[in-house]
Amino acid sequence: MVDESGPAIARKLAEAGLHAQAEGRMEEADKLLTQAQAIDPDAVAEVLRDHDAGRAPDARLQVQTDQDVDKTLPPNRAGPV
């Protein structure tokens, strides 16, 4: 017997949305996550918590960090003038 309750459907949609997002299909991801949120926001929150639990705490910021490294000025090593 398949569980097709609201939370189960929302969870399935949210997981599909995260998968689409990871593949760069942002429009599809937004659509799936919006549908899931409309069905059961708590189920979506649980999927997002589970997803984040599998990542390093700063993993979401890694892309930004990598970009900022290129923009950081080297330390000033010159002594007093």
- In the chain, % of residues over pLDDT 70: 60
Residue 72 has pLDDT above 90, yes or no: no
Answer yes or no: is pLDDT of 74 > 80.
Answer: no
User: pLDDT (tens digit, 9 = 90+) per residue, 28-49?
Assistant: 999 999 999 999 999 999 998 8
| pTM reported for the whole predicted model | 0.63
- What integer pLDDT is reported at residue 1 of this predicted model? 46
DSSP the chain: ----SHHHHHHHHHHHHHHHHHTT-HHHHHHHHHHHHHH-HHHHHHHHHHHHHTS-TTGGGHHHHHHHHHHPPPP------
